Amino acid sequence: MIDYKNDYINLVVLGNFNPSILTHDFLVKECGFDLGSKPISKSPPMPVVTSLDYNKISFFADLGRLQITEKNCKEPKLSQLPIYLNTYLQQLPYTPITKCGANFSYDLTVEKRPLENIEQWLESNRNKFCKTLKLKTLDLEVCFAIDDKQEEVKNWTLRTKIPEYEASTMLKVSYIAGAGNGIKIDFNYEVTGLDRDKKLLANVTTDYENVVDLFKYQVEKIFSGQTS
């Protein structure tokens, strides 16, 4: 059993943006978003950065990035973020874009057994990650805290590639001091090649549910307590 507590989810697009376009009027009148009211906070007028905060939903743009974030999202598949992103970019069809990504940040409480399994995998059986996720290859990075008496894992990161979608994933697991079986999960799904084919944006818009499923698949397989 895994207990999920969401911190935030967001969608990001890299390219060449005009931050001054990001205004409440643009979001409501041009994009047709129902955001409830005017933003509860916004950045001071600046030519290179704009941010608007609508309580749980926030929009951010600078010269190279557009980011839309939802805090404390209980069900990512029901989030409006993919619609917001797709609609926003449809209003700016000539904006050059190069990459897009989806991010999930969670605090998890898991059972003791899978944490013990993973400790053993990291120490001497790292190919278990490949077998568990049914992958031929992946990249694994492990960060240790070391003193003159002992060492312990602070965090570890798995990276995988999905060539058919020009995509890659990163799953970072951090151990929370004093939290028992609590861990911090940060997951990133990134797609490149949008400068050649904007249709790849669908990975994080119309096909967003598949990204959520992939995130849940990796987490559930690794932390289910299975040993194969």
Residues 17-28: pLDDT tens digits?
999 999 999 999
- Check whether residue 171 and residue 197 sit in a common domain: yes
Give the C-alpha separation, 37 to 39, whole Å: 6
Q: Looking at residue 52, what DSSP letter applies?
A: E
Residues 110 and 213 grouped into a single domain: yes
Shared domain check, 76 and 113: no
Report the number of distinct structural domains present in the chain: 2
Given this model, what pLDDT does residue 199 score? 95
pLDDT of residue 188: 98
pLDDT in tens, 25-38: 999 999 999 998 88
Rounded CA gap, 25 and 32, in Å?
9
Q: Does residue 117 share a domain with residue 212?
A: yes
Q: What is the DSSP letter of 216?
A: H
Q: Is residue 167 part of a domain?
A: yes
Residue 98: pLDDT above 60? yes
Out of 82, 99, 116, pick the residue that ends a domain: 99
Q: Is residue 3 domain-resident?
A: no
The token pair at 117 is 């399994």
- Cβ atoms within 10 A of the Cβ of 221, count? 15
Q: Is the pLDDT of residue 227 over 80?
A: no
User: 148-162: b or e for each residue (b if 16 or more CB lie within 10 Å)?
Assistant: eeeeebebbbbebee
Parent domain of 131 = 106-223
Return the biggest CA–CA distance within the chain: 62
Q: Is residue 79 part of a domain?
A: yes
pLDDT interval class at 146 (50, 70, 90): confident
Q: What confidence score (pLDDT) does residue 61 get?
A: 97
Which two three-digit tokens encode residue 164? Answer: 């058919």
Q: Is the pLDDT of residue 124 over 80?
A: yes
- Which residues have CB under 8 Å from 79's CB, separation 6+? 9, 70, 73, 208
DSSP per-residue codes, 141-165 = EEEEEE-SS-EEEEEEEEEEEEGGG
Give the model's confidence band at 226: pLDDT under 50 very low, under 70 low, under 90 confident, else very high.
low
Same structural domain for residues 172 and 148? yes
First to last CA, the chain: 17
Pick 112 or 202 by higher pLDDT.
202
CATH code assigned at 128: 3.30.310
